[in-house]
Amino acid sequence: MQQFYCITVGMDEDQIDFVFKALAHPERRRILDFLHRQGEQSLFEICAFSHAESGQPLARQTVTQHLDMLERAGLIDVSWKGRTKAHSVNLGPLREAIGHAVGTYL
């Protein structure tokens, strides 16, 4: 029987829970998928994508709240391009959380 071991470097149980809670909302998962496919995007571009995909516009404030939750979970990185905030996906915390969750059951 093959043994699997998982070592989590910097995440505690609360941080892992926060990653999965951030992924619980379908709109946040859509945003992550979009950023994964498109790379760095501004708030305006994410709002436009959300409207184009669902056919119903989300308020800018709603998208901002989703982005904030994803950023606090470590799932997106933010950089500045001049006066524009650019968002990009960071799958490191997700991989670590999955590794920890799967490692506890193997």
Q: What pLDDT score does 102 carry?
A: 73
CA-to-CA distance for 74 and 91, rounded, in angstroms? 8
Q: How many CA atoms lie within 13 A of 28 on its CB side?
A: 20
pLDDT band at 104 (very low <50, low <70, confident <90, very high): low
Residue 63 is predicted with a pLDDT of: 95
11-15, 45-49, 65-69: segment of lowest average pLDDT: 11-15
Question: How remote is the C-alpha of 88 from its chain's centroid?
Answer: 9
Question: Coil, helix or strand for 25?
Answer: coil
Tokens of 99: 């590794």
Q: Is the pLDDT of residue 12 over 50?
A: yes
The pTM of the full predicted model, rounded to 2 decimals, is 0.80
pLDDT of residue 7: 43
